[in-house]
Structure 1
Amino acid sequence: MMWRKSSYSNPNGNCVEVGALPAGAAVRDTKDRAAGYFTATGPQWRAFLAALKTGRFDH
C-alpha cells in the first residue's frame, strides 16, 4: 500500500498517513506505525473528510 502524509502535518512528525484501498482508506499514526492502522469504507471516509472541512472537530 502507498501511504501519503497529510499536507497539514507538523514538521515535528506529529501526523497521520493515509493509504488508498479499493473500497476506502487506511489511516495510521506516523509516530507508531507498528501499532497498525484503521480502515474506513468510501462513504465513511467521505463523511469524515466532510466533517473536517466544516470544522466539526475544531475546539
Structure 2
Amino acid sequence: MSNEWHTASYSQNGGQCVEVREHANGADVRDTQNRERGHLSVPAREWAVLLTSVRASR
C-alpha cells in the first residue's frame, strides 16, 4: 500500500474527482478541487467492502 494520494483510474482530466490515500488502517478520501477542506477517513473493513461492491458492479 502506498501512502501517496492518487485519483481513480476512471477519473477524467477535468479535475472533478476525488483523491484516495490508502494505508494499513483503511483509506482517506478528499476532493481534488478542495484539498484544504480536509479528508474523510474510512476504516479498512468498510473500504474493502466499498471496493468489492464497486468492482462487482462493473
Runs of 4+ aligned structure 1 residues displaced above 3 Å come to none
Gaps of 5+ in 1: none
Report the secondary structure of 1:14's partner residue: coil
* 1:34 aligned partner: 36
Aligned-CA RMSD value = 1.7
String of CA shifts for 1:3-51, please: whole Å, max 9, x gaps.
1111111111111111123311101110111111101111110001111
C-alpha distance in 1 between matches for 2:31 and 2:44: 20
C-alpha distance in 2 between matches for 1:36 and 1:52: 24
Alignment length, in residue pairs? 56
Task: Tell me the TM-score normalized by structure 2.
Answer: 0.80
C-alpha distance in 2 between matches for 1:50 and 1:21: 17
Report the secondary structure of 2:10's partner residue: coil
Gaps of 5+ in 2: none
| Aligned residue runs from structure 1 range 9-48, under 5 A | 9-48=11-50
C-alpha distance in 2 between matches for 1:31 and 1:38: 15
Task: Tell me the TM-score normalized by structure 1.
Answer: 0.79
